[in-house]
Amino acid sequence: MNKLQQLLKDIDGKGYKAYKSIQGSYSFHRYEICVDYVQGDPFASPSKIRIIIPNAYRQIKEEWKEHKQRNIYVADHLARTVADAISTASNQSKGSGKSGLIHIDKPGQEILERTAVQIKDDKTVICLSIGLPANGRKINGKQAETLFLTTIPSILRNSIFSVTDEALEKSAQLADQHVAIRQKMKDNNWIAFIQDGAILPRQSGISNKPLKQAVPFNSPEENRVAFTIPHREEQLTGMAIEKGISLIVGGGYHGKSTLLEALERGVYHHITGDGREYVLTDPAAVKIRAEDGRQVTSVNISAFINDLPHGQDTKRFTTENASGSTSQATNVVEAMEAGASTLLIDEDTSATNFMIRDARMQALVHQNKEPITPFIDKIKQLYDQLGLSTILVMGGSGDYFEVADHVIMMDQYQPINVTEQARKIVADYPVSRKKQIDELDNNMNNRVFLPNSLALQKGKKKKVQAKGRSTIMMGQSTILLQDVEQLVDDSQTRAIAELLRHLDAKGMLKQDRTLATLLDDIEALLDNKGLQALSPFPEQHPGDLARPRRFEMAACLNRMRTAKIK
């Protein structure tokens, strides 16, 4: 501490570059600060420091770290307390550029595995970004002293050193509950569970916080299940959705898409108070939508689309500019390739011609003039032959009644089980639409990405960088992820950018692995070495990364405009 203070006094008023001399570690009373990276100038991306707190000063109980899930939840809680303390800190530091900034990668509504706070055997590590203070381009040593010797200590006092064991225990208990619900779902073949009383709608299209005064979810009697979970006296009750084909119908603006969006997010876990803390979905559920304009490289969409004009091959379909239907077919096949077991589809974001062709259209446009086998003719085959379930929002076509195992109607934001009525309607109003049943091509998921797919070179350097949640700049090209809806956090996108760099640096695409096995390898790496394995300096500040699912990693590889398939 004195060493750092002296250094800052020495460099006060000097050119900004002199800050480089503070790189290194410094002991404080209850922790150590490691300055891992010093920014080049006040406007550059901020400096990176780690705060290392031995267990002696912030005890992390053995039972909070022995299970991975508990460890993640407790670390998540600590990150939130640090973020809160930062936002209320009286940080008066002013100056040029990012002077005085203090930042932690703050979690959102989802509880994700992240690198911001790491709980290790005997210590806790907190990763911060800070803007080293300057006036113009001259070092402001006094402000830097305040930052290190007053502001940061007070932030730590108000977070990591004051958070109660009870609060951390509660987080660990939520982890246990989520694990228990997932186990229950597995044992009973449920692909989704929505708790009675859950709040599904969000404040707005740009806020992930719960809507105030929303109508709480209330399961239909027929679908209600009840079971006990740890750390809770009363039973948890709610709606279970079984494997198979489930249809969500209902009038416009009655809450169909809101329900589906909650299910999309239910692959992750939410914090207490979110409203969706007991809304869980099959972790291998993938949202499928139309995404016209996307890149497609050598995907076998022939199960859905055949005989395109000009004889384009749909067994190895490649385009720089997919249409609505071809992009949606691609998204289905790619999800299966990556190992999806449930598809989530909303009519609002689907290509109509991909979803349905009614009897009249079949009569007008003969089947041999129509390249598309609509999803309605595949949905049962996908389930019966491959075990792939679908939850589908469809207010516009009753043709799907015929293939649905369960039909839920949203009425004034409340679900009603209308499966029997739907069955009766199918019997009473037969439709003359012809089914198109062809064999399912099993050869859909053996693509191997070639190493030169990763074109990181930009000028003399290799470069790959995430921009916000939905863009990755790789070398000369841009990868667009805005329609990858289950990528929910900027830090996940950063992790995927780091992944691309890692795949390239380690030559992981040289091993001739199919995409599915490559994803297995990546997940094994993350499971064994942690998320920081993706960072170029895993022993230092591992940045601000959150773990993406394999489906979102695959989504990024699949959208590279430079992808090359063997």
Residues that bind ligand ADP (CB under 6 A): 200-201, 211, 214-215, 250, 252-258, 410, 413
Residue 427 neighbours by CB under 8 Å, 6+ apart: none
**Cα–Cα distance for residue pair 209/275, rounded to 1 Å:** 9
Q: Count CA within 13 A, CB hemisphere, residue 446.
A: 4
Q: Which of Mg ion, ligand ADP, none lies near 99, with the C-beta cut-off 5 to 8 A by kind?
A: none
Q: Which of the choices ligand ADP, Mg ion, none does residue 413 contact, using the CB cut-off of 5 to 8 A by kind?
A: ligand ADP
Q: Least distance in Å: CB of 104 to ligand ADP?
A: 30
Choose from Mg ion, ligand ADP, none: what does 475 bind? Cβ within 5-8 Å by kind: none
User: Which option in Mg ion, ligand ADP, none does residue 243 bind, with CB closer than 5 to 8 A by kind?
Assistant: none
Return the number of the residue (346 or 552) whose C-beta is nearest ligand ADP. Answer: 346
Task: Please identify, using beta-carbon distances, which residue of 100 and 250 lies nearer to ligand ADP.
Answer: 250
* Contact between 297 and Mg ion per CB under 5 A: no
Asked if residue 420 binds Mg ion (CB under 5 A), the reply is no
- Minimum Å gap between C-beta 530 and ligand ADP is 37
Q: Taking CB within 5 to 8 Å according to partner kind, which of ligand ADP, Mg ion, none is near residue 252?
A: ligand ADP
Interior CA angle at 541 toward 540 and 546, to 5°? 125
C-beta of 211: minimal distance to ligand ADP in Å? 6
Least distance between Mg ion and beta carbon 376 (Å): 19
- The H-assigned helical ranges of 36-151 are 62-65, 68-88, 141-146
Q: Report which DSSP code applies to 139.
A: E
Pick between residue 91 and residue 257 the one whose CB is nearest to Mg ion.
Answer: 257
Burial class (CB in 10 A: 0-12, 13-18, 19+), 395: buried
Nearer to Mg ion by Cβ, of 409 and 519: the residue is 409
Nearer CB in complex with ligand ADP: 249/563: 249
Q: Which residues make beta-bridge pairs with 129? A: 48, 103
Task: List the beta bridge partners of residue 54.
Answer: 123
Cα dihedral value 273, 275, 279, 285, nearest 10: -100
CB nearer ligand ADP, residue 19 or residue 413: 413
Question: Which stretches of 158-276 are assigned E, i.e. beta strand?
Answer: 190-195, 202-204, 207-210, 224-227, 236-242, 245-250, 269-270
Query: Looking at beta carbons only, is 255 or 475 nearer to ligand ADP?
Result: 255
- Tell me the chain's radius of gyration from C-alpha atoms: 26
How far apart are CB 291 and Mg ion at their closest, in Å?
17
C-alpha span between 325 and 331 (Å, rounded): 10
The window from 3-11, 27-35, 297-305, 348-356 that contacts Mg ion (CB under 5 A) reads 348-356
**Closest CB 195 distance from Mg ion, rounded Å:** 22
- Written as six digits, the tokens of 312 are 């384009």
CA distances from 21 to 12, 14, 441 (A): 12, 12, 62
> Least distance in Å: CB of 328 to ligand ADP?
18
Name which of 222 and 348 has its Cβ closer to Mg ion.
348
CB of 219 to ligand ADP, least distance (A): 13
Nearer to ligand ADP, 164 or 213 (CB): 213
Q: In angstroms, rounded to a whole number, what is the distance separating the alpha carbons of residues 216 and 201? A: 9
Give min distance, CB of 401 to ligand ADP, in A.
18
List CB contacts of 45: < 8 A, sequence separation 6 or more: 39, 129
Q: Which of ligand ADP, Mg ion, none is residue 419 near (CB under 5 to 8 Å by kind)?
A: none
253 contributes a contact to Mg ion by CB under 5 A: no
Pick 281 or 300: Cβ nearer Mg ion: 281
Residue 445 tokens, joined? 């998921």
Whether the CB-CB separation of 334 and 445 falls below 8 Å is answered with no
CA proximity to 406, closest of 414, 397, 226, 416: 416
Nearest CB to ligand ADP, comparing residues 263 and 557: 263
Among left, alpha and beta (phi > 0; psi -120 to 50; other), residue 96 is beta
Out of 348, 384, 441, 512, name the contact with Mg ion by CB under 5 A. Answer: 348
Number of residues that bind Mg ion (CB under 5 A): 2
Q: Environment class of residue 96 by beta-carbon count within 10 Å: exposed (0-12), middle (13-18) or buried (19+)?
A: middle
Kindly state the smallest distance separating residue 237's Cβ from ligand ADP, in Å: 17
Min separation Cβ 346 and Mg ion, Å: 6
Out of ligand ADP, Mg ion, none, what residue 324 binds, judged by CB under 5 to 8 A for its kind, is none
Which one among 257, 297, 417, 558 touches Mg ion, defined by CB under 5 A? 257
* 350 interacts with Mg ion by CB under 5 A: no
Interface positions with Mg ion (CB under 5 A): 257, 348
